[in-house]
A and B are shown apart, each in its own frame.
Chain A
């Protein structure tokens, strides 16, 4: 929404007008106004906290309002919080109006459906399990309204084609909002009970803890990703490769794995295998790695220790799974003449065979100190020539197919070099959009 098209402005205005229409009967509504005030203040407060901690919207309060109050009063609960809470990007005013209007309509719809099905009586009595029916219907209509409106703004402001704008919006939001709906129902039941709002507030505590843990999870995950990237960049810099070699090998390994029909988890593991395959080079003296001219047999032996060094480093990282075997064996050759163990054929772990092909491919297609980059087609030809002897033909075929279908667009950006503390200290990558360190097994 950086440059907002006129039609999107019209759309937002129309939705806002509809929201105002929902609020119009307010003066004639009989509602417990202190409850409206309390819920609205609660929502606004939680929204201020939630936005600053990067967690989601506090739906339980809104839904509790929808289950407790007549539709216009329930819709009013959402208004102050949505209008007051900070928005991340321009245009601020329009975004605030949009969020307020959208939530107002959604809460109104939930409250209306809930009321139609005798929800308020079921909550007040409380009549379980029947109370779950109006509450479920209310949550469903809440999600439905949000999804329909969201799709509209995607199509009009973000230029998503209409055929894709609405796809997946409802199923994605349904499960989390259903949990919020149960918490909202719980709040509403306790609110109407003799125990009153004090007990209802207790319901929010577990939700808050869940949000807090979720935010911590994201923070820790981001830190983990940055650390892994730094580790990898340290190798690239030490080795004098072009920046991003490891990330690109990760990407090529991922393409091969996907082409072979592996499940998502294995694909991700193989991406890590590619990213970390040379991590053992941290243990090899830089002088050898960067040496111009031929290596002596002694020097070659030292460099050929790097798979074992790498395995020694990563073997303690449990979530890497079979990627650890790939780090150890990515220099084995199919005919058994590779290192460190001289394994042949199927004795070489599958992950290592994938990474070997990806590694060779990127080495050929990127510029090194000793050779210019070759075109992709020439590199693939060379790989096919070596298939059977050095590489697993199945992996080579998979890479050829995957590249034929998706092309080779390495997604590594190299924004200027980071300030290095010394001549060859680790740097930090900016690339790799997501998922380095998806961590949790």
Chain B
């Protein structure tokens, strides 16, 4: 068995640069082509461009990429999939589509960048590539009149299918750089991207399709009227995201109660949570499972608040098993009363059970907690010693597959030194 070594700082791999690189090449090519050959149907381009600008202007810092500017994304997709405007065939090509969307997105991002709210390059690159993909699939065929004979409903379904393809492409574009950057397995990353897209992205795609269809029926007037439901969805989503963020902060504060009370060392809960989430990701957990894992890891020591005397240095992993289990049950009872998801309470409760009977999240919490306690005071080399100790511990205490996942995570990141408090 070879001990994991922190890897030498690898150069930014090609995959990380692939997405912005491709987007840049595509954008420059389209721009040059439009500058050379001029643009067609300027009012239509202007209307859709304004919609994209508006969508970018309603963007808020901190929002995740996929829900950052849904209106802009919907407008851009609708422009790519536009068949005709109030009966007149639309004949803008791929290059004009990409150029209009790029220019509008850049223009809309100006206030955002001026406020210093954060980088936009990644967002822009994904937007350009997604729109480019949809346009390449649709525009040449549409401009040649390939879809003229299709019946109405079939044309609508065609748009939906194209948008689904575009979404898939977008998910791959998001998951690939993340995979290259962090080394997390690609499958779960892609699955998580796709799962995150069920919500707002499906609304964006539906609105894009509806706008393209509505403009062909009702003309450009359809744009302002038909963006309202999407704005409503965006608003609801933001409130949901805000309350989620607040909730997370409150849970983290609750978790720190044990640290402030002197039961556990400062930062212990937070470190167990971040390392636990990384291990969970490595084992293929995603979405809601990761949230449960994170909350449970944050609150795994909360049962100690019920103890009469603190455990020395909060090191529960050294206690007799019955005592560990008692504390776990106390913690589960506390968590149950806090109104947090009952799944979190189960994980906290079962954290000291034999690993064969535990749910995955509880196994992870147990292993990571033990590792954190063993490694934090051990100094240089302590991390490796702690891992060895976990591997050699009595069979049935620590799940071997979780220990190996932990080893992989430590090898990948430089987390092998516990981060300072």
Of the candidates B156, B236, B252, B338, the one whose C-beta lies within 8 Å of that of A199 is B156
Q: Taking CB as reference atom, which chain B residue is nearest A441?
A: B242
Instruction: Knowing A128-B218, A224-B247, A318-B246 are in contact, say whether A210-B306 is a contact too (CB < 8 A).
Output: no
Scan B191-211; emit 1 where CB is below 8 A from any A CB, else 0: 000000001101100110110
Please determine whether B213 and A213 come into contact, CB atoms closer than 8 angstroms. Answer: no
Please determine whether B226 and A186 come into contact, CB atoms closer than 8 angstroms. Answer: yes
Residues of the B chain whose Cβ atoms lie less than 8 Å from the Cβ of A199: 152-153, 156, 209-210, 213
In this assembly, does A270 line the interface, its C-beta being within 8 Å of a C-beta of chain B?
Answer: no
CA distance A440 to B239 in the complex (A): 6
CA distance A437 to B340 in the complex (A): 14
Of the candidates A183, A197, A217, A418, the one whose C-beta lies within 8 Å of that of B228 is A183
In this assembly, does B225 line the interface, its C-beta being within 8 Å of a C-beta of chain A?
Answer: yes
In this assembly, does B119 line the interface, its C-beta being within 8 Å of a C-beta of chain A?
Answer: no
Please determine whether B240 and A213 come into contact, CB atoms closer than 8 angstroms. Answer: yes
Of the candidates B218, B229, B307, the one whose C-beta lies within 8 Å of that of A126 is B218
Residues of the A chain whose Cβ atoms lie less than 8 Å from the Cβ of B207: 205-206
Q: Taking CB as reference atom, which chain B residue is nearest A205?
A: B206
Total interface residues in chain B, CB < 8 Å: 65
In this assembly, does A234 line the interface, its C-beta being within 8 Å of a C-beta of chain B?
Answer: yes
Scan B315-353; emit 1 where CB is below 8 A from any A CB, else 0: 000000000000001100110011111000000000000
Residues of the B chain whose Cβ atoms lie less than 8 Å from the Cβ of A337: none
Instruction: Knowing A199-B153, A206-B207, A209-B233 are in contact, say whether A317-B339 is a contact too (CB < 8 A).
Output: no
Please determine whether A231 and B254 come into contact, CB atoms closer than 8 angstroms. Answer: yes
In this assembly, does A76 line the interface, its C-beta being within 8 Å of a C-beta of chain B?
Answer: no
CA distance A218 to B10 in the complex (A): 45
Q: Taking CB as reference atom, which chain A residue is nearest B341?
A: A223
CA distance A441 to B245 in the complex (A): 10
Instruction: Knowing A186-B226, A421-B330 are in contact, say whether A227-B251 is a contact too (CB < 8 A).
Output: yes
Residues of the B chain whose Cβ atoms lie less than 8 Å from the Cβ of A217: 236, 239-240, 243
Please determine whether A190 and B236 come into contact, CB atoms closer than 8 angstroms. Answer: no
In this assembly, does A423 line the interface, its C-beta being within 8 Å of a C-beta of chain B?
Answer: yes
Please determine whether B152 and A195 come into contact, CB atoms closer than 8 angstroms. Answer: yes
Instruction: Knowing A207-B229, A213-B236, A227-B254 are in contact, say whether A424-B219 is a contact too (CB < 8 A).
Output: no
Q: Taking CB as reference atom, which chain B residue is nearest A60?
A: B229
Please determine whether A227 and B333 come into contact, CB atoms closer than 8 angstroms. Answer: no
In this assembly, does A407 line the interface, its C-beta being within 8 Å of a C-beta of chain B?
Answer: no
With A128-B221, A210-B203, A213-B237 given, name 19 new contacts (CB 8 A).
A126-B218, A182-B228, A194-B217, A199-B152, A202-B160, A220-B240, A221-B243, A224-B247, A226-B338, A227-B340, A230-B254, A317-B253, A318-B249, A418-B337, A421-B333, A422-B330, A423-B306, A425-B305, A437-B247
